Amino acid sequence: MDFKTPYYVIDEKKLLKNLKKIQYVREHSGTKSVLALKCFSTWCVFDLMRQYMDGTTSSSLYEAKLGREKFGKEVHGYSVAYSKEELLEVAKIADKIIFNSLSQLKMLHKNVKTKNIGLRVNPKFSYSHFDLADPARRYSKLGISDTKELSLVSHLLKGLMFHFNCENDNFTNFSENLDSIGKNYTEILKKMEWISLGGGLYFTKEGYPLEQFCDKLKKFSEKYQVQVYLEPGEAAITRSAELVTKVLDVIHNEIDIAIVDASIEAHMLDLLIYGTDAKMEMPKGNFPYMVAGRSCLAGDVFGTFHFKSKLKVGSTIRFADAAGYTMVKKNWFNGLPMPSIVVKRLDGRTEEIRNFNYKDFKKSLS
C-alpha cells in the first residue's frame, strides 16, 4: 500500500474474525446483533457486516437514516432526547423506537403509538473503567431506574433496553448482573417481547468463554420468553483497523519526541477524552520516543513507545485498534488534513474509499 498519510485502513480479514464470533453467538444463543453506529459508521464495509449481523442501532436521526440506507435489515432508533420533528422522521424508518425517559415516553408516545416501542432502563449497576462512560453513574441521564414507575407504563411497551456495560470482558460479572436483571424485573420482563442488553460487552476478545455466554443468553431468553438483542460496536470492529502516519519531525526536550502528521484531538479523540495511550502492534525495542500529534494542543500525545530502530523524518508509524470511536469523531481541529479511509478487501485488494481536501474543510464551516 502506498497511500498518502495519514489514513485509516480497515482490514476486512481482521473484521471478519469478529463477525464470525458474532455469528456464532447468534446461532448458538438465539440472540440478534445490531451494529452500534455511534461507535462505527463507516459504511464502505457494511456489505460484509450485514452478512453476519441483523441490523443497526442508532443514537440519532442521522444514524437511523444511515442504518436504513446503507445497512438495511432491522433499524433500532434510540435517542437520549427526541424532538417531536425528529421522532416523526425516525418513525418512518425505524423498526423499533426506544425512549430514554419516562417523560419523553409520556409526552411523545401518542405520535408513534402504532410502532414497536421500548424504554431504556437504568438497573443501578454497571461495568465501566471510566466514570465518564458509566451508564449508572450518580445523576445519570440514561434510562429510568424506578421499577414502580416502569411497571405503570409497561402496557405501552414491547421491549426494554438495559445498556449497562462499557468494555466489559468479564463474563462472571456479566452473568451475575444478568441474573440481577432477571430477579429485579421478573414480572415486567414477562410482559415484554424483546430485551436489548446494549453494547459494551467484549465477547469477541480472545479467550472469552463464548459457549458459556451463549448458554447464559439462551436460558435467559427462554425463561422470560423474550427475543434478546445485543448491540456490538467495539466488539464488532475491534483490532480491525489502523491509523497510518508518518514522522514529520524529531525533536528533543529531555526525551526524544516524534511528531507525526496526525492528531489525537482530530483523529483519535477518545484517547484525549479518556486519557489513554494509543496502541501499537509491534515488538518492543530499545529506542523510546514520545509520539505527538501535529496540532497546537500541548497534550496532543499518542503515547510513549519503544521502537526497534531510531525514528527519522519519513518513518511510518501505525496505530492499532483505530476503528471504534475514531472515524465517527474525526474533526477539522487546526484545519489539519483529515485521514483518508482505505479498505483492504477479503480478496487482498486495497482501495482508497474516500479522501478529504480543503473543499471539505471549507464546507464544514460557513
DSSP string, 143-191: SB--HHHHHHHGGG-SEEE---BSSB--HHHHHHHHHHHHHHTHHHHTT
CA–CA separation, 109 vs 157, rounded Å? Answer: 10
Alpha helices in the chain (DSSP H): 12-29, 46-49, 61-66, 84-93, 102-108, 147-153, 171-184, 186-189, 210-224, 234-237, 264-267, 269-274, 358-363
What is the tens place of the pLDDT at every residue in 171-192?
Answer: 999 999 999 999 999 999 999 9
Domain ranges of the chain: 12-237, 239-363
Q: So what CATH class is 239-363?
A: mainly beta
- Report the SS3 class of residue 76: strand
Q: Does domain 12-237 have CATH number 3.40.50.300?
A: no
- Report the SS3 class of residue 108: helix
Residue 225 pLDDT > 70, yes or no? yes
User: Which letter, b or e, does each residue of 41-65 get, where b requires 16 or more Cβ atoms within 10 Å of its Cβ?
Assistant: bbbebbebbbebbbbbbbbbbebbb
Its sign, for the CA torsion 115, 121, 126, 131, is: positive
Pairing of strands 301-307, 287-292: antiparallel
Distances (CA, A) of 6 to 232, 238, 244: 27, 20, 5
CA–CA separation, 324 vs 238, rounded Å? Answer: 7
Pairing of strands 194-196, 159-161: parallel
Instruction: Name the DSSP class of 222.
Output: H
- Report the SS3 class of residue 302: strand
Question: In the numeric block, which cell numbers belong to residue 366?
Answer: 460557513
Q: Count of CB atoms within 10 A of residue 354's CB? A: 16
What is the tens place of the pLDDT at every residue in 239-248?
Answer: 999 999 999 9
CA–CA separation, 24 vs 135, rounded Å? Answer: 28
Residue 84 pLDDT > 70, yes or no? yes
CA–CA separation, 350 vs 321, rounded Å? Answer: 18
Question: In the numeric block, which cell numbers belong to residue 209?
Answer: 468463554
What is the tens place of the pLDDT at every residue in 263-302?
Answer: 999 999 999 999 999 999 999 999 999 999 999 999 999 9
Mean per-residue pLDDT for 122-149? 96
Mean per-residue pLDDT for 14-35? 98
* pLDDT given for residue 1 in this prediction: 62
Residue located via cell numbers 446494549: 198
Q: Among residues of the chain, what percentage have pLDDT more than 90?
A: 99
Query: Could you tell me the pTM of the whole model?
Result: 0.96
Mean per-residue pLDDT for 104-130? 96
Contacts with 184 (C-beta within 8 Å, 6 or more apart), sequence order? 123, 147
* pLDDT given for residue 2 in this prediction: 82
- Report the SS3 class of residue 316: strand
Mean per-residue pLDDT for 229-240? 98
